[in-house]
Amino acid sequence: MSSRRSLLKKSALLATLSLAGKGADAIAGQCTTSAAVEAVKWPVVEGLETPKLTLNIPRDATEARMRMHKQFGDDYVHMSGPPLPWSEEGVRTVMDRFHAEGLTVINMMLPTLTAIIYNRPGRDEQIREVQDSLRAAGAVKLPVVEYNFYGHRLTEGYYNVPGRGGSGYLGYDYNRKMADAADDHWAYPAVRAVDEMALAPRELEPLPEEGPHTAEELWGNITYFLEAVIPVAEKANVRMALHPNDPPAPVSRGTRQIMNSFAGWKRLVRIVDSPSNGMTFDCGVSNELGENPLEVLKYLADRDRINHVHYRNDIVETPSTKYVEVFPDNGTVNMFAVMSELVRRKYRLGIFPEHPRKNDIDDRLGGDFVSYLYNLAYARGMLQASLTLQKANA
């Protein structure tokens, strides 16, 4: 009886595939794949040849906070680094403290490089501090140092969007900037309620401490910076990861942005031809730009320029200027395809399932850890499925 049902199922599948222009080979492949998947030994875990899921954590996190990460399978963490310049002893102390709780620090972020970004007095001194910090990172085997290069981060366009079940999504509209933006201090995950009457579709004035600056200025500044620090990073065996502009605003308070387009990312990795001159690949930002995240991933991976990954989802209405950040499972980025491609490419560094969504549990408990756990669990499911298929097809 069982074999008869199996025959009927295969016959129905054959008919369906025939209509789709496929034949018996496709059925045989599916059966083989199914058997191979069932043969994969579980649990499928992260290893030397796989991506590493990582969550952000305060550098001064308590042991209780560290245990919370470890209990949910978060073996890798990243954080903001100490003030410049980093010392070998200082970075080692931080890493050893987390290691004692079973956590590996995989990435530290440099503080804002104001003098370098704007070419101000003290630029060369700040570059020397970054060079010293890279040497310190290499000495203690910290693999990735991340940084930003914003002329201004135009967070003024963010606003709350009601999500499923009363959760909170994050909307962005470049043309709905807050009139009182200079006094706003927006930060994830809590977003201030926005008064519709306070929104004005106008270009915000440059802040005195920031700008304005042209794209040519910023390209000159980042070229000067990379030519000075990438050889040091290479020698230290450290990879630098530049996070793209997020939001990818065309102009931020009078300053042109250079990391807000795929063309800009391509230009960046050509400035100094080295795996140490890489990026944080963000599939969410790639989607915000109207790009195909998989094509962006493949371009950067072909050149070995993915040094960190931000893993999140969104729904785009107008590329670069209007979109909504949602849960990882209900946006338009094919998250499984992204994870599978990273696995196929044998990407070995960190994947951060970022941008937690506002929810009632976190509201009651305080903080955003529950939402991060949701993102982590989702990413682990994608990772285990991708690793399983890789092993099945080996």
| 110-130: pLDDT as tens digits | 999 999 999 999 999 999 999
**Residue 271 in contact with residue 223, Cβ under 8 Å?**
yes
Q: What's the whole-model pTM score?
A: 0.86
d(CA 89, CA 136): 8
> Mind listing the pLDDT tens digit for each residue in 38-78?
999 999 999 889 999 999 999 999 999 999 999 999 999 99
Widest pairwise Cα distance in the chain: 83
Mean of pLDDT values over 154-169: 94
Residue 194 confidence (pLDDT) above 80: no
Instruction: Supply the pLDDT for residue 6.
Output: 47
Instruction: Supply the pLDDT for residue 34.
Output: 86
The helix (run of H) or strand (run of E) holding residue 219 is helix 215-236
- Cα–Cα distances (Å) from 47 to 43, 72, 77, 307, 346, in that order, read 12, 17, 15, 17, 11
* DSSP string for residues in 4-73: HHHHHHHHHHHHHHHHTT--HHHHHHHHHHHHHHHHS-S-----TTS-EEEEE--TT--HHHHHHHHHTT
Instruction: Supply the pLDDT for residue 254.
Output: 86
**DSSP structure class, residue 247:** S
**DSSP structure class, residue 246:** S
Structure tokens at 311: 């893993």
Would you kindly state where each structural domain of the chain is located, as residue ranges? 2-38, 50-392
Percent of the chain with pLDDT over 90: 76
Task: State in words which class domain 50-392 has.
Answer: alpha beta
> Mind listing the pLDDT tens digit for each residue in 276-327?
999 999 999 999 999 999 999 999 999 999 999 999 999 999 999 999 999 9
Q: Which residues contact 48 (CB under 8 A, 6 or more apart)?
A: 348
Q: Which residues pair with 282 in a beta bridge?
A: 310
Mean of pLDDT values over 330-351: 98
Mean of pLDDT values over 91-119: 97
Instruction: Supply the pLDDT for residue 203.
Output: 65
The model's confidence at residue 18, banded by pLDDT at 50, 70 and 90, is very low
Instruction: Supply the pLDDT for residue 251.
Output: 87
Mutual angle of helices 369-392 and 335-344, in 10-degree steps: 50
Mean of pLDDT values over 164-175: 95
Tokens 């000075």, located at residue: 228
